[in-house]
Amino acid sequence: MAWYLAFIAVIAVERVAELVVSKRNLAWTTARGGTEVGLGHYPAMVALHVALLVGCVVEPLLLDRPFLPALGWPMLAVVGAAQVLRWWCITTLGPQWNTRVVVVPGAPRVTGGPYRWIPHPNYVAVVVEGIALPLVHSAWLTAVAFTVLNALLLRTRIRVENRALASLS
C-alpha cells in the first residue's frame, strides 16, 4: 500500500506541475489578448480532480481494498499511457494549453499531434485515468463516482470549448 500512496503523491505533484504550466500559459495568452470563457464550471472541475486523488487514497484505506495484481498492474500501465497522452497534448498545444478555456484572437486552431485524430485528446486521457488510477488498488467506488461526475462535467466543458474553438481561424 505504501508504494501506491507514494504513486498517488507523484500524480498529485504532476497535477501541481500542470497548474504551474497553466498559469504561465495563461499569462502568455492574456498578454496576447486572450480571454477566458466558461468560468462557471472550473471550480467544480478542480474539486472533482482533487476528489479523485483523495478517493484513491481513502477508499483503499477505509474499505481495505486489496492490490490485485491481475487488475492493478494493467491499470498502472493504462495510467502511464494516459500520462503520455496528456503530456503529448500539453506539448502539442504549447503556450495555448491551459486548464482553463482561453481564446487568443486570431490564433490558429491546433490540428497536429493527437489533435490530428481526436478532437479532445486530453479529455480521453482524463477519462482513462479516472477509471484506471483508482483501480490500481481496487478503488472501484472512486472509479465509478469519478467517471459519472466527470461525464457530466465534460459535457459542459466540451460544449464551452467547442464554442471557443469555433471562434478560431
What's the full length of the chain, in residues? 169
DSSP 110: P
Question: Domain extents for the chain?
Answer: 2-166
Which tens digits make up the pLDDT trace of 120-137? 999 999 999 999 999 999
pTM of the model: 0.91
The pLDDT of residue 91: 96
Cell reading at 115: 489533435
CB 40 within 8 A of CB 90: no
3-26 residue pLDDT tens: 999 999 999 999 999 999 999 999
Q: Give the Å distances, CA to CA, from 34 to 1, 46, 100, 103, 122.
A: 44, 21, 11, 5, 21
Asked if the 2-166 domain carries CATH number 3.40.50.300, the reply is no
Neighbour tally for 133: CB within 10 Å:
26
